[in-house]
Structure 1
């Protein structure tokens, strides 16, 4: 219930009608406050009931539980019936002897609020123009290139050309809004979530023409195909690569075809940071630092060797390249322009996508603590925080599927300066996070239904570029004030 709209209305009447209306207003306002307090009490009681009776099976965060297809209906009456009578064959007990009807309706209303939170991301209307009005400014999306399948990463050359990867294994130079094929890329396993993924330039690219590619490297064992995340270093000469060399290959290989992670960034310390997903095996990989590279952020030198100050460098049996662990599927890494700190986003399960500040040697909790539940509705962890686990800066419920991330810098987008941009694969928009320190205090969904936003970059020309799937397109964001 909103108590502010009647307040504005009655305050206007008060100014016009004087003290008599003031008495009437005070009476109404008192009644409104009583109603709001009752609603708040009911909500708090239902939240406590959910935590006590429901969270053990459905997860600590109710919004994650509500992000689902409701087999037995999601209306108030449907939820009431499911809670009261249960569905024994589905493992749902009846609570008619535990709660009275009023308490069951309170719990149903609490769940409906979660369903409403999920539905706020249900964007139905397709864009009808390249002009978008946002809260702070009007933006035109200029099509820079199209015709790709899944443009996964972008790197901006000193020439003004864009080097872009396509998950199917293709590499292109975007030149005068046309795609020019680049030869010499790695052979990739283009299955599931695998393929050719990120691309970045060496900090000294002007002199050495070196680039780095992340990709799904594979091998065959009998009839099985195994794959992993690998980092290739190569030299770009015109429209061909040479001197190709894998400087990192994550171990162990896996039969699974998802959760490769695979974002890369050079830190201000000159070292290469990159993510490797846990490949869907959360029970073993993310928390294991001995002989296991999966579910980690790594830090290496540009030649593939490991810095001696890495946190596990001197730990017996540990993988020396590990910088942090306990990750699920990180698909964004970026450097804060002022602090130099490494920021990351990673996919949660159903609910619990995260923004994290990456620190040396820290455990980020997967799967010991999470805000999400499994896709089949089963609980992964009953808690979202534990001692010794690095807390997340921000989480999304429902999951938006974050991929790509960039801080807004420069003068072209003055009202966005310092904001954090993240692509949404699931809901097909660009997410703008307003920060106060390291806290997200406000968010805005930009360019709704533009397509699965796979990557977002702040380019040297001061413009923001986004890479969108289906069809694969790169857009340049141009403020209309220009």
Structure 2
């Protein structure tokens, strides 16, 4: 008897999930990490951005930069003069919300779009939730054209925390983005009928894919790809291995690094390695059947931000490593990955500041967005 391809795929996926759940979870204390010395210096390239939530390099060497308070900047190549980009929708800059992630992408027709996540009040007179839009850039990169709203989380909230949100693309024409639990941990993450505490998957034009995991489940949000998340703020799709990596903030302890798979429940807040900020416990469970354990967790919390996989030859010690930054302790972590595991983790650039965003430019240099310091470029020391 031959099984349908979809049935085989689901069986393989379920088996993979079972293997991942059974894997031991590595606990990381940042104080014990080995230091990887780098002969580099951080050079200022733009100081006027206070909370540089995202940096998106353009092919000509320009950089797009999102300031969380609601301004999109263009930083031309070989310049320190920022230009405001016009055409943004109304943005609710409140608490952790505002203008968030940026991701440049060529669609199936080879048209180039800039995808943007932000906090939007659409649908309610009060409160806001995370939205995803796309637009095309004018020839001089100073204006957004043909703007299109692709998704807007429902159930607006006046709470100012946990908007997410990062954006990545796979190699099949899908876009993924995250929305945090919006500070409603006991309401949103485990409820498939509500937005929040989820990672979503759309076609690049915003349509809902017909093979999304909850497409046929009554009242479930059909765009959901995975759920049970707290606040994913770093994502990377490894096209070489087709592995989707994400990290998210825990509360006090329990920041997580996860491999994201279709339809999987990542457990928040039923399972966690963290505790309340006051030190009290909200769950006794670190793992539970049917809920995916993380690849590793950081306890104490490091407050991880953006992710960057380094391919540049300018940094031999970093090439092939996954970088993520600790906002809380002002360093960057460099991870060596192999077959879905972290085989080694290093600390680099200790004391660099509260790194919010990471990018590798068309020039091969790594750019850092640091809260209160603006944009810096890592250059070799002479």
Q: Offset of 1:227 from its aligned partner? A: 0.7
Aligned to 1:391: 293
Q: Is the 8 A contact 1:203 1:266 kept in 2?
A: no
Aligned to 1:334: 236
Aligned to 1:231: 132
Aligned partner of 1:416 among 303, 318, 331: 318
Aligned partner of 2:201 among 295, 299, 305: 299
Q: Is the 8 A contact 1:324 1:358 kept in 2?
A: yes
Aligned partner of 1:143 among 41, 44, 50: 44
- Structure 1 residue 157 and structure 2 residue 73: aligned? no
Relative to total residues, which structure has the larger helix share, 1 or 2? 1
Q: Offset of 1:460 from its aligned partner? A: 3.5
Question: Hey, what's the Cα distance between the residues in 1 that align with 2:232 and 2:282?
Answer: 18
What does residue range 196-345 of structure 1 map to in structure 2 within 5 Å? Answer: 196-204=99-107, 208-218=111-121, 225-237=126-138, 238=140, 239-290=142-193, 292-345=194-247
Q: Offset of 1:388 from its aligned partner? A: 0.9
Q: Offset of 1:343 from its aligned partner? A: 0.6
Question: Hey, what's the Cα distance between the residues in 2 that align with 1:136 and 1:303?
Answer: 43
- Structure 2, gaps ≥5 residues long: 1-24
Q: Which has the larger radius of gyration?
A: 1
Partner secondary structure for residue 189 of structure 1: coil
What does residue range 15-164 of structure 1 map to in structure 2 within 5 Å? Answer: 120=31, 135-164=36-65
* Pairs aligned (count): 351
TM-score (norm 1): 0.69
TM-score (norm 2): 0.86
Q: Offset of 1:414 from its aligned partner? A: 2.4
Change (3 A) 1:300 1:182: same
How big is each residue's C-alpha offset from its partner over 1:48-83, in whole Å with a ceiling of 9 and x where there is no partner? xxxxxxxxxxxxx9x99xxxxxxxxxxxxxxxxxxx
How big is each residue's C-alpha offset from its partner over 1:280-318, in whole Å with a ceiling of 9 and x where there is no partner? 11111001112x121000000122111111111122221
Partner secondary structure for residue 87 of structure 2: coil
Q: Is the 8 A contact 2:266 2:291 kept in 1?
A: yes
Question: Hey, what's the Cα distance between the residues in 2 that align with 1:431 and 1:191?
Answer: 29
Question: Hey, what's the Cα distance between the residues in 2 that align with 1:234 and 1:405?
Answer: 23
- Structure 1 residue 467 and structure 2 residue 346: aligned? no
Question: Hey, what's the Cα distance between the residues in 2 that align with 1:438 and 1:220?
Answer: 40
How big is each residue's C-alpha offset from its partner over 1:383-404, in whole Å with a ceiling of 9 and x where there is no partner? 2111111120111011111110
How big is each residue's C-alpha offset from its partner over 1:231-284, in whole Å with a ceiling of 9 and x where there is no partner? 121121131112222110012211211100010011112211000000011111
Partner secondary structure for residue 345 of structure 1: strand
Partner secondary structure for residue 415 of structure 1: coil
Aligned to 1:447: 349
Relative to total residues, which structure has the larger strand share, 1 or 2? 2
Question: Hey, what's the Cα distance between the residues in 2 that align with 1:269 and 1:476?
Answer: 32
Q: Offset of 1:468 from its aligned partner? A: 0.7
- Structure 1, gaps ≥5 residues long: 1-60, 65-116, 122-133
Q: Offset of 1:221 from its aligned partner? A: 5.7
Aligned partner of 1:400 among 302, 309, 314: 302
Question: Hey, what's the Cα distance between the residues in 2 that align with 1:361 and 1:305?
Answer: 18
Aligned to 1:12: none
Change (3 A) 1:328 1:165: same
Aligned to 2:74: 173
Question: Hey, what's the Cα distance between the residues in 1 that align with 2:323 and 2:143?
Answer: 32
Change (3 A) 1:452 1:304: same
Identify the structure with bigger relative contact order (alpha carbons < 8 Å, sequence gap 6+). 2
Q: Offset of 1:190 from its aligned partner? A: 1.2
Aligned partner of 2:267 among 365, 368, 380: 365
